[in-house]
Structure 1
């Protein structure tokens, strides 16, 4: 039995991961900003033996809250899942500084605060797995997603460095990149309070935003299946056998297709720029 800590476990993928870990026999510390409401919405987590704690990852007290929760659970943490996050969608022109700061405080600084709480325990035992939930937007930024994609790109880069920094301690980093999941994630996104500048009407930004709005409830991805794949890759079981060296885990045919297109585009860009790149040496 291992101890998992899952942030943002009140709904969607976070709740599915918490349940999957519990059903496999693990101990789970599930976090939510409102744990009472979260427990009522997800009774199975408590029924299976999960423990709820109150945590807002934007709080500077996050490392201490996480540290205390791990100590309360026995002083061992095997897997941490940085899942808490949301999307701010719209034009960066229309976003206030405080709206942008809140996006990055949750999606980037949030995982950092949680890691500050768990990594000392993992280093002491020279084992553990860090699962950072990114997105297909962490590799491919669509119109209207500049700040959301920006936050996930930051998480991707951070995770690449972390994987190399933590390897000497036997700590693994796995970046999970779900495609579009049939959860409430896209129904609770945030738009700038200022609204949309009229000049963007009819542009790709508005078109993609409308697509997100109309797609609610029809997304192709199954959060329960995604949670199971994540569990298998973390544990090296099922479809995760032999995948213990994976850094990235794209989930969903839609995500896979976007990644392949991105790789092809990058390759084409690189080849076109080759002569220029090699012309700048002394």
Structure 2
């Protein structure tokens, strides 16, 4: 395979993005690493990546301009990895409406803007892969991460629709759903937590914030391993050699267990309530 050109968002130290860059370079591919703060990714430039400043919450026009600049670096982009995200912690009563808006501005709307900027390039070439880093929270609405879970559930639906819209154009879509991986997602600089002001939530909120603080850098998942798997999936080599690459792939022991439990619960619900679920048509509909 000739080398691929990748663009990765959210490449600041300690996250999946940085791991992607190193894994991509190790395969002999080219990569354009991006982040809101260019100073934080200069070390990736020294490692062999091209680096560009990209704030995914910027205007669509500015993002379009940045993607055009990125395309000009190597003459094309083959793979876009939508990785940039953060997590807001707090119950629905404790998070302000602005907190929900900010969470969606990055995790959903920012991702959409970057993808929209790259899609014409892929469509014209009838080639390209778009990778989205979702989350176990796109499957399970855990308590205390309402805004984050909402943003990742929204992303799941948008990406699934995009997959069906663009697959016939030669554009591949991969939706990766990580469980708990040892990135800096839960670090003080990346996790935005709202202390509860509601007495009824005091015990829950304290336990949640204490638990998350203790879990930081103790998560079971290895982000380097995740990056290696995704690069294999894109390049159809390694563990993906000779296998049909799925559109959606949950990753992590915890992700496997919780997604399996939810699927089994959903199948049981469908069976237990089948008579009701299938009883809603007008009488003139063919059964």
> TM tier, shorter chain?
over 0.9
Task: Give the deviation of 1:202 after TM superposition.
Answer: 2.6
Partner of 1:17: 20
| Rounded Cα–Cα distance in structure 2 between residues aligned with 1:206 and 1:247 | 38
CA contact under 8 A between 1:176 and 1:250: conserved in structure 2? Answer: yes
CA contact under 8 A between 2:196 and 2:202: conserved in structure 1? Answer: no
Partner of 1:46: 45
Q: Secondary structure at the match of 2:55?
A: coil
Q: Secondary structure at the match of 2:191?
A: coil
Partner of 1:29: 32
- Matches for 1:112-127 after TM superposition, within 5 Å: 112-127=112-127
Task: Give the deviation of 1:244 after TM superposition.
Answer: 4.1
Q: For residues 194-231 of structure 1, what are the alpha-carbon distances to aligned partners after superposition, in whole Å with 9 as ceiling and x for unaligned?
A: 6442211234x654443222211211111111100110
| Rounded Cα–Cα distance in structure 2 between residues aligned with 1:104 and 1:271 | 35
Q: Tell me whether 1:189 sits opposite 2:188 in the alignment.
A: no
Q: Secondary structure at the match of 2:192?
A: coil
CA contact under 8 A between 2:139 and 2:153: conserved in structure 1? Answer: yes
| Rounded Cα–Cα distance in structure 1 between residues aligned with 2:169 and 2:142 | 36
Give the TM-score of the pair, scaled to structure 2: 0.91
Partner of 2:199: 198
CA contact under 8 A between 1:233 and 1:243: conserved in structure 2? Answer: no
Partner of 1:255: 255
CA contact under 8 A between 1:132 and 1:174: conserved in structure 2? Answer: yes
| Rounded Cα–Cα distance in structure 2 between residues aligned with 1:26 and 1:213 | 36
Moved beyond 4 Å, runs of 4+: none
| Rounded Cα–Cα distance in structure 1 between residues aligned with 2:224 and 2:170 | 29
| Rounded Cα–Cα distance in structure 2 between residues aligned with 1:159 and 1:198 | 38
CA contact under 8 A between 1:90 and 1:196: conserved in structure 2? Answer: no
Q: Secondary structure at the match of 2:219?
A: coil
User: Runs of 5+ in structure 2 lacking a partner?
Assistant: 283-287
User: Runs of 5+ in structure 1 lacking a partner?
Assistant: none
| Rounded Cα–Cα distance in structure 2 between residues aligned with 1:103 and 1:243 | 36
